[in-house]
Amino acid sequence: MSRGARIARVLLACVAPVMLTVAIPFVNRIEPRIFGLPFLLAWIVLAVLMAPVTLGIIFRLEGRAKG
């Protein structure tokens, strides 16, 4: 895997965990509500959905690197 691909892999992997930890103080609010959910809950749902997206991209990157 190239250096760029390796850095991209680390950054992508961090997206969901960062959204669910260090970002929490900044999204700890009710408004704006999204699909009726309070903002904090909607943000957590979004973060959960980011995990398959980012891991899926990493899976593709690795597949290409393997051969």
Partner 1 sequence: MSPALIALGIVALVVGGTIAFALAAVKRLSHDPHEYVVAGRSFGAFFLWLLLAGEIYTAFTFLGAAGWAYSFGAAAFYILAYGTVGFVIGYFLLPELSKVGHARGLLTSADYFRDRYGSRALGVAVGALQFVMLIPYVTLQLTGLQILLTIAGYDAYNATGGVAIAFLLMALFVFTAGMRGLAWASIVKDGLILIAVIFAGILIPIRFFGSVPAMFDHLIAKHPQMMTLPTTFTNHSVIWFVSTVLLTGIGFFTGPQSMNAIFSAKSGDALRRNTIWMPVYQLILLLVFFAGFAALLVVPGMKPGAADQSFVLVVQRFYPSWVMGFVAAAGVLGALVPAAALLLGGASTFAKNVLSDGLGIATADRQQTAAMRISVVALAIFALVLWLVYKQTLVDLLLFYYNGVTQFMPGLVCALVWKRVSATAIGAGIAGGLLTVLTIFLEHADPTPWGINIGLLALVVNVVIVALVSIIRPRTVAAPEV
Residues of this chain that bind partner 1 (CB under 8 A): 13, 16-17, 20-22, 24-25, 28-30, 33, 35-38, 40-41, 44-45, 47-49, 51-52, 54-56, 58-59
In the complex, the smallest distance separating the C-beta of residue 60 from partner 1, rounded to whole angstroms, is 11
In the complex, the smallest distance separating the C-beta of residue 23 from partner 1, rounded to whole angstroms, is 9
In the complex, the smallest distance separating the C-beta of residue 32 from partner 1, rounded to whole angstroms, is 12
Longest dimension (CA), the chain: 47
Give the count of beta carbons closer than 10 Å to the beta carbon of residue 43.
Answer: 20
The C-alpha atoms of residue 6 and residue 3 are separated, in whole angstroms, by 5
